[in-house]
Amino acid sequence: MSISRSTAIDFMAGNESAIEKVYFEYKNLMFFVIASYVSSKSDIDDILSESFLKAIEKREQIKEPNHLKAFLVATARNQAIDFLRKGRLVPSSDVLEEIYGDDDRTNDFLSLIEPLLSNKETIVVYYKIGFSYTWQEISEETGISVSSVRRLYASAKEKLKKGLVA
């Protein structure tokens, strides 16, 4: 479920309640964007916090409420890249090397699926494919029941089949 247009407008205006809603809706997506560049959980958590604070500071740059999600994803990606550029490079996991190859560290996978799926579907697919998590592990990480995780994954697969073929 994405946030409403009015919540996005309130976020852009600096409304504290809207900021909290946006954080809870998009924190997992931002986490995965960062995790595609950095493998240490503690570093990912730090970068996530920095990313969201940066997004709040730069919220006036959002020109259209519908662009909030893309703005948050771009902010998370840029913060992760900045982290790596500062010489605090953390080796990527083998799974990510298999997905992206040794030379290409861009998040092609996420950018391909993200427009086709809901936030929760994106997160479930990313955990399942990107990190080879079990249904139970995904459930524990996201707080979504195992049956809902499976349903979200099945729904995402159908959307991806339709969206990638079109």
Q: Which has more confidence, 37 or 61? A: 61
CATH architecture of 1-91: Orthogonal Bundle (1.10)
Q: What is the pLDDT of residues 125-143, one digit of tens each?
A: 877 876 678 898 888 777 7
CA–CA distance, 35 with 110 (Å, rounded to integer): 11
Between the CA atoms of 163, 136, 143 and 112, what dihedral angle is there, to the nearest 10 degrees? -20
Mean model confidence pLDDT for the chain: 80
As given in the structure block, the two tokens for residue 62 are 């959002």
Please report, for the chain, the start and end positions of each structural domain, with discontinuous segments joined by +.
Answer: 1-91, 93-166
91 confidence band (pLDDT: 50, 70, 90): very low
Summarize the confidence of residues 63-87 as an average pLDDT: 87
Q: What is the pLDDT of residues 1-46, one digit of tens each?
A: 478 999 999 999 999 999 999 999 999 889 888 887 887 888 899 9
CA–CA distance, 110 with 139 (Å, rounded to integer): 20
Note whether 111 and 33 are within 8 A (CB).
no
CA–CA distance, 166 with 156 (Å, rounded to integer): 15
Q: In the prediction, which pLDDT does 133 show?
A: 80
CA–CA distance, 72 with 158 (Å, rounded to integer): 26
Q: In the prediction, which pLDDT does 107 show?
A: 53
Q: In the prediction, which pLDDT does 93 show?
A: 44
Summarize the confidence of residues 147-156 as an average pLDDT: 92
In CATH, the number for domain 93-166 is: 1.10.10
List the one residue out of 123, 87, 110 whose CA is nearest residue 1: 123
Q: What is the pLDDT of residues 108-122, one digit of tens each?
A: 566 667 777 887 888
Calculate ∠ Cα 50-73-39, nearest 5°.
65
Summarize the confidence of residues 84-104 as an average pLDDT: 50
